[in-house]
């Protein structure tokens, strides 16, 4: 398998899951501005959406969208318990979390990465994120991970997007529960390896 990524982007989440799963994979970096791969190819020939991540399988099939990729990876190694069993109620609870992170948290960061955004736009985006973080903090109160005591792919995704606070001047310390969650997940050996792979834990 080959993971197409950009350092620190949401493609970090499937890299973490690949490391947690112990799967063999290769990677190729993508310049999201030029849409060129490190090998000089047009990335849009791999993923017409032009965004990361994309996972190319051995047979040439390509899977896109982080939440889909990480569930696919989890199902390759059911013994790792990175996702509840397909068809179970808990699996739908996982899907609920993945959708919330993707639509309500991940996308709420978008204005903060837009250099042309006005100060008013940035402040409005931070206010929206604050409400999302309030909910997440309440949900994580008294538990180690989103689904309880067991790490799942949803935690890999949340860890990734919370990491963007450092690049957008959002003080995660305002939410001690989230700050502790981010630190706890960040200490996992597979997460440390994924961060090292992308030069993010220096």
Structural domains of the chain ordered from first start: 2-80+191-197 (3.40.30.10), 89-188 (1.20.1050.10)
Half-sphere exposure of 166 (CA within 13 A, CB side): 12
- Name the pTM for this structure: 0.97
DSSP state of 150: S
Residues 38-89 pLDDT 10s: 999 999 999 999 999 999 999 999 999 999 999 999 999 999 999 999 999 9
Residue 1 has pLDDT above 70, yes or no: yes
Coil, strand or helix: which one is 70? helix
Distant-in-sequence, close-in-space partners of 124: CB < 8 Å, separation ≥ 6:
111
d(Cα 132, Cα 123) in Å, to the nearest integer?
14
Q: Running DSSP on this structure, what letter comes out for residue 128?
A: H
Q: Could you tell me what percent of the chain has a pLDDT over 90? A: 99
pLDDT in tens, 121-156: 999 999 999 999 999 999 999 999 999 999 999 999
Confidence band of 201 (pLDDT split at 50, 70, 90): confident
Looking at every residue in the chain, the average pLDDT score rounds to 97
Strands 2-5 and 36-37: unpaired
């Amino acid at each position: 398998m080959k993971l197409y990524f950009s350092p620190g982007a949401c493609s970090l989440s499937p890299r973490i899951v690949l490391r947690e799963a112990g799967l063999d994979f290769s990677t190729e970096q993508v310049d999201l501005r030029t849409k060129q791969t490190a090998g000089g190819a047009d990335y849009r020939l791999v993923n017409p959406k032009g965004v990361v991540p994309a996972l190319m399988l051995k047979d040439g099939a390509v899977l896109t969208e982080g939440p889909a990729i990480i569930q696919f990876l989890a199902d390759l190694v059911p013994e790792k318990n990175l996702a509840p069993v397909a068809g179970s109620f808990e699996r739908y609870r996982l899907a609920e979390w993945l959708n919330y992170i993707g639509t309500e948290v991940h996308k709420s960061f978008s204005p903060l990465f837009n250099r042309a955004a006005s100060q008013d736009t940035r402040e409005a985006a931070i206010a929206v994120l604050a409400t999302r973080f309030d909910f997440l903090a309440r949900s994580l109160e008294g538990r180690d991970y989103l689904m309880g005591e067991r790490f799942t792919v949803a935690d890999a995704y949340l860890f990734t997007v919370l990491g963007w606070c450092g690049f957008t001047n959002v003080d995660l310390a305002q939410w001690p529960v989230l700050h502790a969650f981010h630190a706890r997940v960040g200490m996992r050996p597979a997460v440390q390896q994924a961060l090292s792979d992308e030069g993010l834990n220096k």
